[in-house]
Amino acid sequence: MDPDFRARLRALNEKYAAGVPSLMQAIADAQTRCNSEGPRQEQLTALHRGLHAVAGSAATFGFAALGQECRRIEQLVRALLNEPGNVMAQWPALDTQVSTLLRWAERDAAATHFNA
């Protein structure tokens, strides 16, 4: 592999790693809005968007477990968006899962396995 390519790839990975805290903060902010304003369409859409951003990019930059867990929770949020009648009943469990994700990511977002 070309050494210049490796150096550019390493730089991209480092840039992504430096941005992970702000990506996770966007998820945390959306979760906070769901809790303070109620898990309504707008708030859940923001949460979905934050999770989707990480799920779509994390594995590319060496954060596969983070991406997988964000994808899993993103799918749960999407299900709530598609069935708004279940939101209030299902939000507490989903809220707990988002909190668990955020705590884990704060400890070691680059871990190779999600370990709540």
DSSP 112: S
pTM of this structure: 0.93
In angstroms, rounded to a whole number, what is the distance separating the alpha carbons of residues 20 and 60? 13
In angstroms, rounded to a whole number, what is the distance separating the alpha carbons of residues 113 and 12? 22
Q: Does position 1 have pLDDT exceeding 80, yes or no?
A: no
Over residues 83-110, the pLDDT tens digits come to 989 899 999 999 999 999 999 999 999 9
Which residues 6+ apart lie within 8 Å of 51 measured at CB? Answer: 27, 70, 71, 73, 74, 77
**pLDDT at site 68:** 97
Over residues 11-62, the pLDDT tens digits come to 999 999 999 999 999 999 999 999 999 999 999 999 999 999 999 999 999 9
- Check: CB of residue 87 under 8 Å from CB of residue 39: yes
**pLDDT at site 22:** 97
**pLDDT at site 116:** 83
Over residues 56-81, the pLDDT tens digits come to 999 999 999 999 999 999 999 999 99
